[in-house]
Structure 1
Amino acid sequence: MDPRFRVDLIAATPNPQQCVYAGMHQDYSEGFVAADRADWPDETKAGEICVKRLLAGERGHYGPLEHAQIVLNVGWFPHSVMQQARTHRVGVSFDVQSMRYTGDRIARAADGDLDLEDVFYLRPVGDYSDRQGKKYHYSPELRQQDLELCRQAAARYRDLLQAGFAEEHARGILPFDYRQHFVVSFSLRAFLHFMDLRAKLDAQQEIRELCDLLWPHLQTWAPEFAAWYEKSRLHKARLAP
């Protein structure tokens, strides 16, 4: 995994499994469930009950999972990951560096003030295959050629800005996989949905690595749901709920 890739927690519902429990419980309760909060199960037990009643046996009652929310900051991933992450109906909110207001780092890399690989992503040297199984080797020499193309593009971008070109015009000459930071918010349901779509074993390498960094946050935040998901759905490429 690229050592620059990073996912940090910004905020999260502090009792997500109890929130799911409350939503589920209100569905079939005569009373006002918040009035009985002292009688709710604790966070761990709430998670166990919700998994059993909502998800076990592929019951698929995912609606109550939408009440719990988590916000994460994702850093230094290539633009292709953002392209994939926003494809399909994921029910997720993104705020992403636009490259209209955030191109200074490219010019700084062109001037040598930043490492080129801080702003452009290239896969590591190694053996790869395409989705049809055709194998190829990405050699140090090929990678160095690509890095030189990134250097030239960064210099051209800097020169265009200095010549008065608009950022949205100048960015058109940049390699596709410039790095971007973004903030993303998931409901618990959307988190599982995203993992169904993007953690499958034949997904693009970089988005699988994003899922690898997302996963510990889910385990810490909603451990009973994460344990059920790991056993029942993780990497199995099932259709998302």
Structure 2
Amino acid sequence: MTDEIRFRGDMTVELVKHAASDADVVWAARVSTKGESSLADVEADPERSRGLINFLMRDRHGTPFEHSTMTFYVRAPIFVFREFMRHRTFSYNEESGRYRELAPEFYVPGPSRKLVQQGKPGKYEFVEGTPEQHKLVSESTREACRQAYAAYREMLEAGVAREVARTVLPVGLYSSMYATCNARALMNFLSLRTRRDDSKFPSFPQREIEMVAEEMEREWAALMPLTHAAFEAGGRVAP
């Protein structure tokens, strides 16, 4: 394990496996009217059923969208994962600081990160910070992380257990996890963790988790383009 401190301002999102297509929505929905003969639709051309997918989304018949699965590898700061895990319709497995030495990789907000919050909770916005504020955030974060990791390593070298030594590490430390969901769960996540002016119910997520959500949405849109288009057309409301 290297002691070289690494700082970054981006997120890692990789689709590692999936069983997800628009056809999954079609055959799952048609069992309600066709019974066992709906199995013939497993290989159906979903383009012929675009209207069915739009109808299900519009009228919020959500269960047909649950017959898919996507597993993402995510590497992001710990504070992002703490927000992520409020979404209980995902399954998670995260690396453990009890069982492995944690890598010295820390998040520092990039120059495009808006720093200043204006307004009250529930009705606020973020605006650009000054060059002085960005300099302060960057320098203070880097220094605090260096000191924290030095203390962590000192305890490990003294024989202190990993689960105790990690106490000093900040939530800006990068962790990694696998997150598995179906399309309906992902749409719920996206409706809350992305900000879009055309959303029926606007959301105001923290920018860092939105960065993860945007990458996940790109992967999902490629897998299920008709479902994604229906989600967008319906104001980004999960069915």
TM-score band by shorter chain is: 0.7 to 0.9
Match of 2:17?
A: 11
> Alignment partner for residue 44 of structure 1, among 16, 34, 47?
47
Matched residues in 2 for 1:88 and 1:4: separation?
A: 22
> Alignment partner for residue 215 of structure 2, among 213, 219, 223?
213
Matched residues in 2 for 1:105 and 1:82: separation?
A: 17
1:140 deviates by 1.5
Matched residues in 2 for 1:12 and 1:195: separation?
A: 18
CA contact (8 A) 2:92 2:179 kept: yes
| Letter of the structure 2 residue corresponding to residue 211 of structure 1 | A
> Alignment partner for residue 27 of structure 2, among 14, 22, 26?
22
Matched residues in 1 for 2:184 and 2:167: separation?
A: 36
- The alpha-carbon distance between structure 1 residues 228 and 157, as it changes in their structure 2 partners (threshold 3 A), is same
Match status 1:156 vs 2:151: yes
CA contact (8 A) 2:26 2:53 kept: no
Match of 1:109?
A: none
- The alpha-carbon distance between structure 1 residues 180 and 122, as it changes in their structure 2 partners (threshold 3 A), is same
| Letter of the structure 2 residue corresponding to residue 102 of structure 1 | R
| Letter of the structure 2 residue corresponding to residue 209 of structure 1 | M
SS at match of 1:73: strand
- The alpha-carbon distance between structure 1 residues 104 and 87, as it changes in their structure 2 partners (threshold 3 A), is closer
Unaligned 5+ runs, structure 2: 1-7, 196-202
- The alpha-carbon distance between structure 1 residues 127 and 67, as it changes in their structure 2 partners (threshold 3 A), is closer
1:53-72 residue pairs with structure 2 within 5 A? 53-56=55-58, 59-72=59-72
Match of 1:174?
A: 169
> Alignment partner for residue 183 of structure 1, among 174, 178, 185?
178
> Alignment partner for residue 197 of structure 1, among 192, 197, 204?
192
SS at match of 2:103: helix
Matched residues in 2 for 1:103 and 1:193: separation?
A: 34
Cα RMSD, aligned residues only: 2.3
Matched residues in 1 for 2:38 and 2:109: separation?
A: 52
- The alpha-carbon distance between structure 1 residues 17 and 142, as it changes in their structure 2 partners (threshold 3 A), is closer
CA contact (8 A) 1:19 1:68 kept: yes
- Once the two structures are overlaid, the 10-residue window that deviates more, 129-138 or 159-168, is 129-138
| Letter of the structure 2 residue corresponding to residue 122 of structure 1 | V
1:124 deviates by 2.2
TM-score by length of 2: 0.81
Match of 1:96?
A: 94
Match status 1:130 vs 2:117: yes
Unaligned 5+ runs, structure 1: 107-118
SS at match of 2:222: helix
1:80 deviates by 1.1
Matched residues in 1 for 2:102 and 2:36: separation?
A: 57
- Once the two structures are overlaid, the 10-residue window that deviates more, 127-136 or 23-32, is 127-136
Matched residues in 2 for 1:181 and 1:23: separation?
A: 33
1:151 deviates by 0.5
1:88 deviates by 4.4
SS at match of 2:171: coil
